[in-house]
Amino acid sequence: MNEQDIRIMAREQGIDLIGFFLTNSLVECLPYLEKRVSQGFTTGFEGGTPQERIDYLKHFPQAKSGIVIGINYYQKLERLMDDKQRGALAAVAWGLDYHQVLREKMTVLMEKINLKQTGQGKQLVSFKTYVDNSPLVDRGSAYRAGLGFFGKNNCLINENLGSYFFIGQILLDLKIDFNPVKPISASCGDCHRCLDACPNGALGNGFSLEPSRCISFLTQKKELTGEEKTLVQHYLYGCDLCQEVCPHNQELKKTNEKGFLITPEIAYPEITEILNLSNKGFQRSFGKTAAGWRGKKVLVRNAKLFEKNQK
Ligand code: B12
Ligand code: SF4
Ligand code: SF4
């Protein structure tokens, strides 16, 4: 099977970006992962030691190639400024949960690959899909496959989609015939807008991110320290501030994924509505989004902290 065949299948599947990678260990990312550990800047969401994280074969010993996909989730929804007190959800939690959307796309892609295989009298290909749910380094695989470069805001930036794309990867027991690409050497240059935009100074030089100062992390963390509680602002889940200001994220094309599209009223919910959410109401509004996994308690806590910190 060659990369062109798979690229065509991916396009039919509404996959915005696709790349291929070899499954030897992701050594190029090891120093960055080790540095995070030595700085004490891990979140507990990563899972595994740096060595385990870069070892594709530990996760899927049969892996002979890797496919990585990127799905655009950009939509412009200006912050609602009416007479109501509103918080904000980061774009990561707008619409359907991206874990589900990407997993489905990768599974259908593999079904197509397998249809072609069996049509040619070949064996079914075994595979595993990953999206933000394993120790594997999603940004690292996408970087290796040429999907983008690392920005100072830590995000992987693509020349067309900016950083507003989710990443999924597939390890498969099939040797794909592809030309390994050179990782993109572009960089941020002298720009430091994201470092300036981060309200808590969570971003540092050398791609560092201090979780205990990062609103995205704090709005997902279960127990907050006294100081951490003072850092939660209008974001009730996630944070987009270091992406919004990035020159690569201006005038982007809207996502093709209908499931991600929502209205400003949902993106910027009323604080009183959040504070009065019933369990059923939470399930109805958040159960199918990426913010659902953390549960009602943390969301309501964040809304209370926003109110308190405003005073
Ligand atoms: C833990 C985690 C978080 C933590 C820590 C984030 C962080 N920056 O480390 C928190 C909760 C804060 C977080 C927040 C967000 N996250 Co998050 N998160 C993850 C997770 C689970 C692991 C990330 C990780 O390992 N971090 C440790 C650092 C060291 O690794 P890294 O982020 O991959 O960064 C690489 C660079 O530092 C790199 N590097 C830097 N420079 C260079 C140069 C060279 C030459 C090389 C080779 C490598 C390199 O080496 C690292 C390894 O590749 C991944 C899913 C996954 N399993 O990979 C999603 C993931 C990174 N998150 C994602 C998203 C969308 C977000 C948010 C935008 C959500 C939001 N709106 O709140 C924010 C963005 C915050 C930010 N500025 O990074 C996407 C990123 C998509 C993209 N295009 O970049 C991912 C990939 C999920 C997915 N599958 O789509 N996240
Ligand atoms: S996500 Fe928000 S708090 Fe975290 S580094 Fe970016 S701007 Fe700072
Ligand atoms: S805002 Fe500037 S420094 Fe930050 S990621 Fe974008 S280009 Fe790089």
Each residue's pLDDT tens digit, 209-243: 999 999 999 999 999 999 999 999 999 999 999 99
Instruction: Please count the structural domains in the chain.
Output: 2
Counting ligands in written order, the one closest to the CA of 37 is 1
β partners of residue 127: 172
Q: Are residues 41 and 142 in the same domain?
A: yes
pLDDT in tens, 170-214: 999 999 999 989 999 888 999 999 999 999 999 998 899 999 999
The answer as to whether 86 is a domain residue is no
Domain boundary among 172, 207, 232: 172
Question: Looking at ligand 2, which atom is closest to the CA of residue 235?
Answer: 2
Model pLDDT, residue 131: 98
Confidence of residue 81 (pLDDT cuts 50, 70, 90): confident
Over residues 59-73, mean pLDDT = 98
**Nearest C-alpha neighbor of 257 from the set 97, 67, 80:** 97
The string of pLDDT tens digits covering residues 31-42 is: 999 999 999 999
In a domain, 186, yes or no: no
* Residue 116 in this model has a pLDDT that exceeds 90: yes
Q: Which of 32, 103, 234 to mutate to test the pocket of ligand 1 (most atoms within 8 A of CB)?
A: 32
Do 163 and 200 lie in one domain? The reply is: no
Task: For residues 93-116, give the mean pLDDT.
Answer: 98
Does the pLDDT at position 92 exceed 90?
yes
Same domain, 56 and 112: yes
Residue minimizing CA distance to atom 8 of ligand 2: 198
Options 132, 138, 177, 240, the catalytic residue: 132
pLDDT of residue 54: 98
Domain assignment of residue 43, yes or no: yes
If one counts every other C-beta atom within 10 angstroms of the C-beta of residue 245, the result is 17
Contact yes or no for 142/161 (Cβ under 8 A)? no
Q: Out of 43, 92, 153, 246, give the residue to mutate to test ligand 2, the one with the largest number of ligand atoms within 8 Å of its CB.
A: 153
> Catalytic annotation on 173?
no
Residue 308 pLDDT > 90: yes
Over residues 10-22, the mean pLDDT reads 97
- Provide the pLDDT for residue 143: 98
- Say if 185 falls within a structural domain: no
User: For a pocket test of ligand 2, which of 198, 210, 236 has the largest count of ligand atoms closer than 8 A to its C-beta?
Assistant: 198
Q: Are residues 105 and 233 in the same domain?
A: no
The CA-atom distances, in angstroms, between 278 and each of 222, 223, 263, 271, 294 are 19, 22, 22, 14, 15
Residue span of the structural domain in which 231 resides: 193-310
- Strand extents, DSSP E, 86-183: 88-89, 127-130, 149-150, 156-157, 165-172
Looking at residue 206, its pLDDT comes to 86
CA 184 – CA 150 distance, rounded (Å): 9
- How many whole angstroms from 218 Cα to the centroid of ligand 3? 22
In this structure, the answer to whether residues 210 and 129 fall within a common structural domain is no
Quote the ligand 1 centre to 155 CA distance (angstroms): 6
- What mean pLDDT is predicted for residues 71-85? 95
Q: What is the mean pLDDT of the chain?
A: 97
Q: Is the CB of 237 under 6 A from ligand 1?
A: no
Q: Which residue's alpha carbon is nearest to atom 7 within ligand 3?
A: 188
Q: What would the pLDDT profile of 40-52 be if each residue is shown by its tens digit?
A: 999 999 999 999 9
Residue identifier of the C-alpha nearest atom 5 of ligand 3? 151
Instruction: Based on the fold, state whether residues 166 and 214 are members of the same structural domain.
Output: no
* Ligand 1 near 166 CB (within 6 A): yes
Domain boundary among 115, 141, 172: 172
Query: Which are the contacts of 36, defined by CB distance < 8 A and separation ≥ 6?
Result: 42, 208
Residue recorded with tokens 């992701």: 26
Question: Looking at residue 265, what is its pLDDT?
Answer: 96
Does the predicted model carry a pTM greater than 0.85? yes
Of 115, 138, 172, the last residue of a domain is: 172
pLDDT of residue 311: 83
Whether residue 230 is found in the same domain as residue 167: no
% of the chain beyond a pLDDT of 70: 100
Angle between the 296-310 and 279-286 helix axes, to the nearest 10 degrees?
90
